Amino acid sequence: MKKVNIYTDGGCSNNQARENFGGWGAILVYGGQERELYGSEKDTTNNRMEMTALIEALKVLKEKDLEVNIFSDSSYLVECFTKGWYKKWRKNNWMTASKKPVENQDLWIPLIDLVASFTQVNFHRVKGHLKRDSEKEMTHWYNKYNENNPPVTSRRFEEIVAYNHRVDALANRGIDELKKKASIN
């Protein structure tokens, strides 16, 4: 089966403030080819940008018979799928355990449908803003947190860290471009 690795990140300048700037970034790696995507949104949240990054990346994939490996530093995003939160939300008519409406339902529904459209999807949690100087410790953390996935070597972990930094930079590029556009208007 063909394999695609997707690295995503999202961010928000002044997250939770009434006025803010959000950005998202994604890199798709398939058969030695890479494709970078990024964008931005005004008055959003960090979580929405994390979700948007993955939605936009999955929308680019035309083939569905794929093994898709998703690498994200968003525990909100990864744990929704690895812990099956969305199954409970659907069963409870999109209400949380505390009987409150699920936040970001407008993004969760299309994202869940997109994920389900692929043959195999694996989620990998990456610790955000990793530093290369603690590689041994971080490789141990990664393997422990992603125990349902095959362990990674130090070399593979180094690649994951590099992609994590690149998607963070793409998200920031989206934020910077939106801020610049807002200052011109």
**What confidence category does residue 115 fall into, taking pLDDT thresholds of 50, 70 and 90?**
very high
Answer yes or no: are the C-beta atoms of 8 and 24 closer than 8 Å: yes
Residues 6 or more apart from 102 whose CB is under 8 A from it? 89, 94, 95, 96, 108
Query: The pTM is what?
Result: 0.90
What DSSP state is assigned to residue 38?
E
Return the bridge partners of 124, or none. Answer: 71
pLDDT of amino acid 66? 96
Q: Dump pLDDT digits (tens) for 28-41.
A: 999 889 999 999 99
* pLDDT value at 79 more than 70: yes
CA–CA dist 152, 149 (Å, integer): 9
CATH number of the domain that residue 105 is part of: 3.30.420.10
CA–CA dist 176, 152 (Å, integer): 34
Domain that holds residue 46: 2-184
Residues 6 or more apart from 149 whose CB is under 8 A from it? 122, 124
Return the bridge partners of 95, or none. Answer: 101
Number of domains in the chain: 1
Q: How many residues does the chain have?
A: 185
Answer yes or no: are the C-beta atoms of 64 and 119 closer than 8 Å: yes
Mode of pairing for the β-strands spanning 66-72 and 2-13? parallel
Average pLDDT, the chain: 89
Q: By mean pLDDT, which of 21-25, 84-88, 93-97, 180-184 is the weakest? A: 180-184
Answer yes or no: are the C-beta atoms of 72 and 115 closer than 8 Å: no
* Sheet (strand 120-125) strand order: 33-42, 21-30, 2-13, 66-72, 120-125
Q: Dump pLDDT digits (tens) for 31-75.
A: 889 999 999 999 999 999 999 999 999 999 999 999 999 999 999
Distance of CA 151 to the CA centre of its chain: 20
Query: 181 by DSSP, 3-state: which?
Result: helix
Q: Which residue type does 18 have?
A: R
Q: Dump pLDDT digits (tens) for 81-104.
A: 999 999 999 999 999 989 999 999
